[in-house]
Amino acid sequence: MDRRRFLRYSCAAVTSSLLLPSGLSQAFSKPTPKYKLGYQLYSVNKDMQRSPWSTLMALKKMGYQDFEVFGFDPDTVSYYGLPAKDFKRMLDELGLSVSSGHYGFASYLDKPLAEMDAFVDKCIQGAKKLEASYITWPWMAPEQRTLATFKKLPELLNHIGDRVTKAGLTFAYHNHGFEFDITDPQTGMTGYDMVISQTDPKLVKLQMDMYWVAHAMKTTPKALVAAHPGRFVMWHIKDMDKQTRDYTELGNGSIDYPAVLPDTDVSGLCYFYIEQGGNFASSPMESAAASAKYFNAKLASHFNQ
């Protein structure tokens, strides 16, 4: 089996036609899309906090099927004010899924390792209740964005990744733009170079935020995938305002996504999420609808080749 097919199967992206006898698949089934349309729920966080059910129902009507959660409470193992098992029941009733979550690891970065381990265990507990595959490190506080942090970060990421992997889940790191701005004057390596080269690919996967890659202007999504095939198992897709360089709805900004999207199989892609963290044209939900419409018209075919 060649690399492209292996990566496709490893993410369970096999179409339903493969399950049917030869000659019957075309007659009795439509090919199942390789990927569900995903959304990062941080984009509609206030709506989710106010009414998870109605928000998820509205997103489903827009075509979204899979989600990445935000706002985990480790003390109660809950999401959006709901115990994890109750939130999962809601997802099941709506026919939706959660495949990843952004968790607050940065808050424990400078605390004793035992506290980080305890937090990781809570994340594992929550993710398993949601039947999510990935636990993702999403962010770093401004005061933590230093060369000293990135010199010690890879070892910590490997440690967390080992703990998550042993629990039967997968750990990933999500980039912003600051990783590209921090450079070691002795080696010339950026913070992101350190994350990629000094972590174990078996323990630490990568979630590429394409907006931040474009914003940093140091490399491109295609170049990153070509240099590290199979490593970028998740993508974040959001557009950049042509004047302010802030977030904007897909299709309204400066990122030419039909041209910049990498090959999904070479990337090792398992899940992707549209996201818009702010700067909404009118409201978060209307922006979600606009981005879904653009995606289906201009980008969906790239994910189902």
What is the domain partition of the chain in residue ranges? 1-32, 36-304
What confidence tier does 297 reach under pLDDT thresholds 50, 70, 90?
very high
What confidence tier does 305 reach under pLDDT thresholds 50, 70, 90?
confident
Residue 247 pLDDT = 98
pTM equals 0.91
Residue 180 pLDDT = 98
Residue 11 pLDDT = 67
What confidence tier does 245 reach under pLDDT thresholds 50, 70, 90?
very high
Taking CA atoms, 176 is separated from 63, 191, 233, 281, in Å, by 27, 11, 16, 23
Between these two residues, 88 and 4, which has the higher pLDDT value?
88
Which of 202, 207, 213 is closest to 272 using CA atoms? 207
Which of 121, 212, 122, 217 is closest to 173 using CA atoms? 212
pLDDT in tens, 150-187: 999 999 999 999 999 999 999 999 999 999 999 999 99
33 pLDDT exceeds 80? no
Taking CA atoms, 54 is separated from 83, 209, 258, 285, 305, in Å, by 18, 28, 32, 11, 33
Residue 30 pLDDT = 58
Beta bridge partners of residue 208, listed in sequence order: 235
Least confident of 21-30, 202-211, 217-226, 267-276: 21-30
Question: Which residues are CB-contacts of 122 (< 8 A; sequence separation ≥ 6)?
Answer: 72, 74, 77
pLDDT, averaged across the chain? 92
284 pLDDT exceeds 80? yes
Least confident of 22-26, 113-117, 276-280, 293-297: 22-26
Task: Show the tokens assigned to 98.
Answer: 């959660």
2 pLDDT exceeds 70? no
- Distance separating alpha carbons of residues 19 and 50, to the nearest angstrom: 41
- Tell me the torsion sign for CA atoms 219, 227, 190, 135: positive
Residue 16 pLDDT = 37
- Distance separating alpha carbons of residues 281 and 248, to the nearest angstrom: 8
301 pLDDT exceeds 80? yes
Which of 242, 167, 252, 251 is closest to 203 using CA atoms? 167
146 pLDDT exceeds 90? yes
23 pLDDT exceeds 80? no
Taking CA atoms, 142 is separated from 61, 80, 94, 139, 179, in Å, by 37, 25, 38, 9, 11
pLDDT in tens, 50-78: 999 999 999 999 999 999 999 999 999 99
Domain 36-304 annotated CATH 3.20.20.150: yes
Q: How many CB atoms lie within 10 A of CB 294?
A: 18
Residue 18 pLDDT = 33
Percent of the chain with pLDDT over 70: 90
Amino acid letter, 210: M
241 pLDDT exceeds 80? yes
Task: Show the tokens assigned to 150.
Answer: 């990135």
